[in-house]
Structure 1
Amino acid sequence: MTTTRGLEGVVATTSSISSIVNDVLTYRGYNIDDLAENASFEEVIYLLWNDKLPNKQELDQFSAKLAEDAVIPEEIINQIKSYPSDKVSPMAALRTAVSTLALYDEEADDMSEEANYRKAIRLQAKIPTVVTTFSRIREGKEPISPKKDLSFAANFLFTLNGEMPEEVAVTAINKALVLHADHELNASTFTGRVCVATLSDIYSGVTSAIGALKGPLHGGANERVMKMLSEIGSVENVDSYLHQAFEKKEKIMGFGHRVYKTGDPRAKHLKEMSRKLTELTGETKWYEMSTKMEQIVRDEKGLPPNVDFYSASVYHSLGIDHDLFTPLFAVSRVSGWIAHILEQYSNNRLIRPRAEYVGATNQSYVSVENR
């Protein structure tokens, strides 16, 4: 039996959802560059779940259903109001609320293909509202109901801030959602698939995935990037900060990737959006610090930035609280989780790997009086 730490390089299943080959990311065979520049997030969700891009009628119907199902039950709002908001992290709140949503879904335990698809739409639609509702409640504000005539990205910003968003902000959020939608068999996706491979329900699968994303080695990287940029403070401090970190052998957040060797193809899209947004807000220092860091880390350590690095300054420039970065990641990635959950259901086999035992052997029981 061969042991591989972290299952690195282990092929655990076959999938037709997304691929990473020669540092090129595709969804259902579509290059991420093509989708990031041209597609709405609604189109990408439909693509991931249906293995094709929707026609106009299909897209209109799908988008309308997402908007219609975006309202969350009053019971969930009241539950969120009961959270100790000064102590609860947004990811813990999201995990708990998504699990509770199942209690208010009459089809929660209906495992038919049709019911699972309907639940998929409800989950995708409601998760951003859960995030924005928590954000507003902890600020002492009343939650805002989504508008049926707004896009997915626009509704997120509207229910977060309570005002109609500018087009550049909607474009930025839509692009970020597209770029984060799926990423092959990452930690949270694998967690979700392991869960539903037992034939547990879709709510349990998504809740499990959220739990995995909550960990700082997976979903929290962009929040830590923004913390690092805030500590650096100015372009003039970048060089000394990095070289001190190099000397201490500290990890520089937002660089390198276990799968990509020559660079994360998603990073360049967020880099350009960071440039535009920081110019718009008049805080170009975030972009300037980031580009200088990229140059130094690439030149001296051979590490290119990953998707988390520039998404930090993008979200900051949009006025999004730093601890909401990972929940926003979940708002997007739930589309991929669900695609993988539906795929797992369609050709299921219980996921049950083995472990190599390295503990003590030949032990004999000794009565408690003689220990």
Structure 2
Amino acid sequence: MYKHLYKRFIEANPALLHFACHSHHYWADVSREAQLQYWDDSAKHVDDKWNHIFSVKVPQAQKLIAEVLNLSHPHQLVFAPNTHEFVFRLLSSLDWNQNIRILTTDSEFYSFDRQINRLSELPQFEVVKVPTLPFETFHERFEQAMDSADWNLVFISHVFFNSGLTCDIERLAKRAPAECPFVIDGYHSFMAVSLNLKPIEDRVFYVAGSYKYAQGGEGCCFLYVPPATRHRPMYTGWFAELSKLSAIGNEVGYPTDAYQYAGSTMDFSAMYRLIATLEKFKDQGLTITKIHALVQQNQKHFLEEIDKAGHALVNRQNLIAADLNNHGHFLTFNLPSTEATTELVKKMKTRGLVTDSRGSRLRFGFGLYHDADDIKAAVARI
């Protein structure tokens, strides 16, 4: 139904069945024109380009994202090229002269997990990871962990990247200690699974970006910062000098808005692409609710075809899912070993079916450029 939005990517790969959109989503055609517009604006404004970006394009992006997440404070969104910048900036806002205790899960994406694994080698860092499985008891176990000690940072995904399992973020955020930063990684849910941040917008940080279901390509990530936040990250850049600064004596001043978490020069063409894509969705009436319903329909059809195929590995017995009505936009199958999973991914690729895996977990992603014929053909190539 919506293949026309991705005509250029589809025509460039006519024989390919792309089911890895949770990782590298096709870009909407409008993003190409947006990319060119960035070049044209750079030529037009030259030295005044930054003023145009920060006075026109950034507010456009903030407004569109705030509408998706139902945020009351669009100006509390700040941008960076990747989420790792925000991860380390958040970590650098903590007092490293004291012991630091971080609560998270065993299913966080590498931009966070690798960094805290490295920091946990330092004596002042303690990291506790709550297993997501069995998921039936996850929320209770995470709440117990939050209650069990004093934490300096809580970090958790809305949709877990290695399973598609979706947690009740509002429930956990409301239970979290008020004085502790509570950070939501929304990269695998933004523009895929609805999340209303309004009830918790005064107490949570939220980080996501355009590479996956926002479909604008890499390079435009964002962080929502609660309005009362007054942090002084050690990892800081010149963009933080652009806002009104609060300083004491000879201290380095920081903005009182989201730009206390700002970095430095970035390629804003990614923001142009994101804006164009989100505006296109609005024009098409493609709300998250509608997109999610279409993807759920495709996932249901995929599982029905899998049932018919009777594959030895890709079957419902190996499917990781709790509630398919409240699940990410990819289905994950836990296979016997990493080697078996990697081998199957390679074989499918030779047959023109692109998926991906994480360890022993095989992932199939679904997007608006899939229809019933694509799904049937994909199962035939497994």
TM-score norm. by structure 2 comes to: 0.24
1 or 2, which has the higher strand percentage? 2
TM-score norm. by structure 1 comes to: 0.25
1 or 2, which has the higher helix percentage? 1
